[in-house]
Structure 1
């Protein structure tokens, strides 16, 4: 056990100025803008978790954490992921999640329907539940093609205070609006 001391950071997502009356007169537009801001926030937090530099207000992302084991590409995406799972398990960890770019997941799925299908017959790919060898697969476009993560169960935590707020403000400086 190692004590880790850190602090909460605010991750903000800002929109360009929107006429207050447009939002006030149209509940659907207000809800749409709010949903878009929350989506942008989610993308920003994911980017920090994956690749944050760890400097200033940035979190230290998984890809910038010391001790991460790198699995070299081996034959195809399917083989590479399996080798990464083996490396993780050989170190005594249980795989908790696989993170892939959508194109890499597609390549894995298409292996089962191409001429190489006999090579992967019986491989536990569940495209509906999006699981590979029983491990959940999540897609992240920010990760980039040909880069994937097999993360050990409980290896990554994101502590938060449970608050996500969308705040509207008319107090915007002219310099901010112009930039």
Structure 2
């Protein structure tokens, strides 16, 4: 048994003897045992207090020396269940509350953060971009070991068995490729058009023969991938900042949605001016398909455009309003072309996954090789917190800011097609 368990056992034994002698005097043997247990308890209590003091000193000095993450016990929350919760927290919020910066600051204020407490937590890197999105896609903690999986793959349909599994909906961030960038920018050649002229050439060409060997060609455009900062901020109370599990949950929910949203918007709609990257809808060389007969026919015409240059079609991106129109399409007898309001299964169009984005304008679809769009991590995701913001210190509020520095590139615009659905 450890010191705390031994102390508890001694105190429990004293209580047991006292209860047994509730209506009578203590026997000489009981008096001797109580005397011995009291001395033992006093000694154990002193040792526990000394051990706690030593542990706090070691933790504080260690965190200052090498910045390693520490989990300090604080006087108002010393139960092992709380420590276990903090230890198991995953996601970006979990990485932040497990960091040395957060744990050291929280350990220095065991009773919480009150009015007038100066709050300034150093920037904490909470993982790389690849770790975050892969963990989010697989439903794992940010620090859990994962294996790369194929994206934009449809769930197999099993008939006539009942399949109760429901796959997570795909998003644009599950379709694009991800990487890293070492500098602040780089120039690259975008492939905007492809001409394929491969053919058979005779082995022997006579002097008077005009036959020449074929030449295929690529039309290119010089583009620049620059690093941009994607950021968002949150206001939390001092009480929430002091409560690690609550703070982690809040950051995971808000951070995931808001950062995803701004990245999607810039990948699709970035103007390329005014400090914005260039999005797909403003990139030269992306193929265009005019409206033809109806939405379904237009998508099929777009597929043909892409197949003509050998481009893989990994998904079709549509807006929520257009996604609804696809679902409500009916035949001449009023039957839904899709699986109807009570069906379940792959959300597809012409066998390709249909993915929804709130950032895509209604009446527009984008399809093609989404792997040609890349988001490259420069510094990873980081979180910092401070109350030197407006009048937050006086109102017991803290500003928590999340930032991501990354660059986006579209290597083969010709392998994407923007289709007008109306």
TM-score, L = length of structure 2: 0.36
Match of 2:273 among 55, 59, 68: 55
* 2:240–2:246 contact (8 Å) kept in structure 1: no
2:293 is paired with a residue whose SS is coil
In the alignment, is the contact (CA less than 8 A) between 2:318 and 2:357 conserved in 1? Answer: yes
Q: For 1:136-175, what aligned pairs fall within 5 Å after superposition?
A: 136-161=353-378, 163-174=380-391
Post-superposition CA distance 1:114-167 (Å, at most 9, x none): 63659x69xxxx962223223222100111221110122533222224722333
Distance 1:114 1:104 in 2: 21
Gaps of 5+ in 2: 1-187, 190-221, 398-422
Deviation of 1:112 (Å): 5.0
Whether contact under 8 Å (1:93, 1:153) holds in the other structure is no
Higher strand share: 2
Q: How many residues align?
A: 170
2:350 to 129, 133, 139: 133
Assess if the C-alpha contact under 8 Å between 1:96 and 1:153 holds in 2.
yes
User: 1:85 matched to which residue of 2?
Assistant: 303
Which is higher, the Rg of structure 1 or of structure 2?
2
Given that 1:130 and 1:136 are in contact with CA atoms closer than 8 Å, whether structure 2 keeps it comes out as yes
1:105-144 map, 5 Å: 105-112=323-330, 115=333, 128-144=345-361
Tell me what 1:13 maps to.
Answer: 232
1:50–1:62: 8 Å Cα contact kept in structure 2?
A: yes
Question: 1:37-76, aligned counterparts within 5 Å?
Answer: 37-76=255-294
| Structure 1: stretches of 5+ with no match in the other structure | none
For the residues of structure 1 that align with 2:254 and 2:236, how far apart are their CA atoms? 13
Q: SS of 1:167's equivalent?
A: strand
Once the two structures are TM-superposed, the CA of residue 86 in structure 1 deviates from its matched residue by: 1.1
- Is the contact between residue 23 and residue 30 of structure 1 (CA under 8 Å) also seen in structure 2? no
Once the two structures are TM-superposed, the CA of residue 76 in structure 1 deviates from its matched residue by 2.3
d(CA) in 1 for partners of 2:292, 2:387: 54
Distance 2:321 2:224 in 1: 38
Q: Secondary structure at the match of 1:105?
A: helix
